[in-house]
C-alpha cells in the first residue's frame, strides 16, 4: 500500500445501475478529474448528483461501468478496497459500540496484522492529533457527536493512507459543532499533508475547507475551480443557483459597455460581467441577495423596488421585493415594512450575465 502519491486520476469514469423499471440510469457520466498530492477536494452538489457514487467508486465500494482510476502509474479500479488502502469517514461514524475509543482507532491496524504495541502507539498518536487525549478508555456511547466524529477521523488516518475519503461526515452535527469541526478537519488535513476528497451538499463547508471544488449535477461535472472562482464566477446557471445566486431573471442584451455588457428589462438597464459565450439577445442575469445595497437617486446599476415580505436578521433583513423586471431577494442593512419603497444597487462586477433561459 502506498503512503503517498503525486496524482490520482479519474479517466472517463462511468457508473450506471438498473432502476426498478429495468432501465439503465447513469449515476456518473464520463467523470474526468486529477487530484494532486496533499490537495483537499470537495465534491459538491445536491442529492442525486453523483458525488457519493464518485467517492464509492474511488474507494472500491462500487464497480465502474467504464473508464479507469489511476494512482500515479498504477490502475486501481481493478483492486479491491482493502488493497487501495484509503481511509474512509462516513456520515454515521460506524464505530464499534462495545470497543473503547483506543481499540476503535486501532482496529484497522489490528486487521492488518500490526503488532499490538505499535498499534497502541499509533492509535494514541492519532488521538493526540484529533485532540482526544484522556478519552482512550471511553466507549463511543459516552462521547458527544463531535467527539465520535473525531474518533472516526482518527481511525481513518491511523493506517497512514495516501488518501482520506469523507462522505458528508458533519451532516449529523448541529450548526455550531459543524463549524468547529470544519476547522478541525482542515487543520488535520494540513498537518498530515495527505490528499482528502470530501463529499458535501453544503456550500459553506466546501468554500471554507477545499483547495478546489468539483460541482456536480446528474452525474456530470459542471465546474472544477478554486472556492473563490466558483463563488464569484460560476461557470453556468446551475452552478450559480447552487452557489447562492437566488435571483435569476430574464433580460435582453443591448451591447458592450466597456469591459462589461449592458442588458435591459422593463425600463431597467444594468451592466454586468458576461459569462462564457453569450451568443443571443435573450440572456439570464444572476444576482446574489448578499450583493445588494441601498442606493441613491444618482447611483448607476440601480432600480426601485417595493418590499413584499421581510425576514428580520438582526444586523440586516432578507427582503422579497417587486422590481420592474420581476421579484427579487435582497439582503440589506436596516429594517423594512411591507409595501415600503426603496432603491437598490448591485455592483456591475457582481452582476453575472449568462446565455440561456432564466427559468
Q: For the structural domain made of 7-238, what CATH number should be given?
A: 3.40.50.300
Opening angle at CA 63, ends 20 and 53, nearest 5? 70
Look at residue 330 and tell me whether its pLDDT is greater than 90. Answer: yes
Per DSSP, 350 falls in state: G
CA distances from 258 to 104, 193, 253 (A): 62, 45, 14
d(CA 185, CA 241): 27
Query: Per-residue pLDDT tens for 126-155?
Result: 999 999 999 999 999 999 988 998 999 999
Look at residue 52 and tell me whether its pLDDT is greater than 90. Answer: yes
3-state helix, strand and coil shares in percent for the chain, rounded to the nearest 5: 25, 35, 35
Please tell me the predicted confidence (pLDDT) of residue 358.
61
d(CA 27, CA 23): 13
Does the fold of domain 246-355 match that of domain 7-238?
no
C-alpha cell belonging to residue 296: 441613491
Look at residue 359 and tell me whether its pLDDT is greater than 60. Answer: no
d(CA 18, CA 227): 35
Instruction: List alpha helices for 173-225, DSSP H.
Output: 175-192, 203-209
Give the distance, in angstroms, between the CA of residue 212 and the centroid of all CA atoms in the same chain: 9
Element at 231 (helix H, strand E): helix 227-232
Per DSSP, 235 falls in state: S
Give the distance, in angstroms, between the CA of residue 88 and the centroid of all CA atoms in the same chain: 18
Residues listed for the chain: 359
Look at residue 321 and tell me whether its pLDDT is greater than 70. Answer: yes
More confident call, 178 vs 226: 226
Query: Per-residue pLDDT tens for 117-132?
Result: 999 999 999 999 999 9
Share of the chain above pLDDT 90, in %: 80
d(CA 74, CA 228): 33
> Under CATH, what is the fold of the domain 246-355?
OB fold (Dihydrolipoamide Acetyltransferase, E2P) (2.40.50)
Query: Would you say 143 and 93 are in contact if contact means Cβ atoms under 8 Å apart?
Result: no
Query: Per-residue pLDDT tens for 239-265?
Result: 999 999 999 999 999 988 778 999 999
d(CA 281, CA 355): 8
- Tell me the whole-structure pTM to 2 decimals: 0.91
Which of 252-261, 288-297, 301-310, 335-344 is predicted least confidently? 252-261
For the chain, the average pLDDT equals 93
d(CA 103, CA 68): 36
Look at residue 276 and tell me whether its pLDDT is greater than 80. Answer: no
Share of the chain above pLDDT 70, in %: 99
Query: Would you say 292 and 303 are in contact if contact means Cβ atoms under 8 Å apart?
Result: no
d(CA 132, CA 121): 14
Question: How does residue 1 score in pLDDT terms, banded at 50, 70 and 90?
Answer: low
Beta bridge partners of 14: 66
Closest CA to 93 of 168, 13, 198: 168
d(CA 154, CA 301): 51
In the chain, domain spans: 7-238, 246-355
d(CA 47, CA 244): 17
Query: Would you say 71 and 2 are in contact if contact means Cβ atoms under 8 Å apart?
Result: yes
C-alpha cell belonging to residue 241: 443557483
Query: Per-residue pLDDT tens for 68-101?
Result: 999 999 999 999 999 999 999 988 878 999 999 9
Helices 145-157, 116-129: crossing angle, 10 deg rounding: 130
- Residue 6's CB is within 10 A of a number of other CB atoms, namely 10
Question: DSSP letters of 41-101?
Answer: EEEE-STTSSHHHHHHHHHTSS--SEEEEEETTEE-TTS-HHHHT-EEE-TT----TTS-H
Please tell me the predicted confidence (pLDDT) of residue 341.
96
Which of 97-111, 152-166, 171-185, 236-250 is predicted least confidently? 171-185
Amino acid at each position: 500500500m502506498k503512503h503517498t502519491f503525486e496524482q490520482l486520476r479519474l479517466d472517463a469514469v462511468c457508473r450506471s445501475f438498473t432502476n426498478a423499471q429495468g432501465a439503465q440510469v447513469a449515476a456518473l457520466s464520463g467523470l474526468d478529474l486529477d487530484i494532486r498530492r496533499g490537495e483537499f477536494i470537495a465534491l459538491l452538489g445536491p442529492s442525486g448528483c453523483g458525488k457519493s457514487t464518485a467517492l464509492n467508486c474511488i474507494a472500491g465500494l462500487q464497480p465502474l461501468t467504464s473508464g479507469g482510476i489511476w494512482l500515479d502509474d498504477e490502475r486501481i479500479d481493478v483492486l479491491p478496497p482493502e488493497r487501495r488502502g484509503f481511509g474512509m469517514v462516513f456520515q454515521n461514524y460506524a464505530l464499534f459500540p462495545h470497543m473503547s475509543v483506543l481499540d476503535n482507532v486501532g482496529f484497522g491496524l489490528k486487521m492488518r496484522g500490526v503488532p499490538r504495541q505499535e498499534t497502541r502507539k499509533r492509535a494514541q498518536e492519532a488521538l493526540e492529533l484529533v485532540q482526544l487525549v484522556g478519552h482512550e478508555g471511553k466507549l463511543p456511547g459516552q462521547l458527544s457527536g463531535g467527539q465520535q466524529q473525531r474518533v472516526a477521523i482518527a481511525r481513518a488516518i491511523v493506517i497512514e493512507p495516501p488518501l482520506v475519503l469523507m462522505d458528508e461526515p458533519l451532516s449529523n452535527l448541529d450548526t455550531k459543532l459543524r463549524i468547529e469541526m470544519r476547522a478541525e478537519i482542515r487543520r488535520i488535513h494540513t498537518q498530515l499533508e495527505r490528499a482528502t476528497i470530501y463529499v458535501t451538499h453544503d456550500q459553506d463547508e466546501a468554500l471554507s475547507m477545499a483547495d478546489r471544488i468539483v460541482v456536480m449535477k446528474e452525474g456530470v461535472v459542471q465546474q472544477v475551480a478554486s472556492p473563490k472562482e466558483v463563488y464569484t464566477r460560476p461557470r453556468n446557471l446551475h452552478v450559480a443557483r447552487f452557489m447562492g445566486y437566488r435571483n435569476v431573471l430574464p433580460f435582453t442584451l443591448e451591447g458592450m459597455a466597456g469591459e462589461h455588457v449592458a442588458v435591459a428589462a422593463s425600463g431597467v438597464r444594468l451592466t454586468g460581467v458576461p459569462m462564457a459565450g453569450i451568443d443571443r439577445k435573450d440572456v439570464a442575469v444572476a444576482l446574489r441577495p448578499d450583493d445588494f445595497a441601498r442606493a441613491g437617486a444618482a447611483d448607476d446599476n440601480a432600480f426601485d423596488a417595493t418590499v413584499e415580505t421581510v425576514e428580520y436578521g438582526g444586523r440586516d433583513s432578507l427582503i422579497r421585493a417587486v422590481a420592474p423586471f420581476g421579484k427579487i431577494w435582497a439582503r440589506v442593512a436596516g429594517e423594512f415594512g411591507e409595501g415600503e419603497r426603496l432603491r437598490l444597487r448591485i455592483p456591475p462586477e457582481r452582476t453575472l450575465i449568462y446565455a440561456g433561459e432564466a427559468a
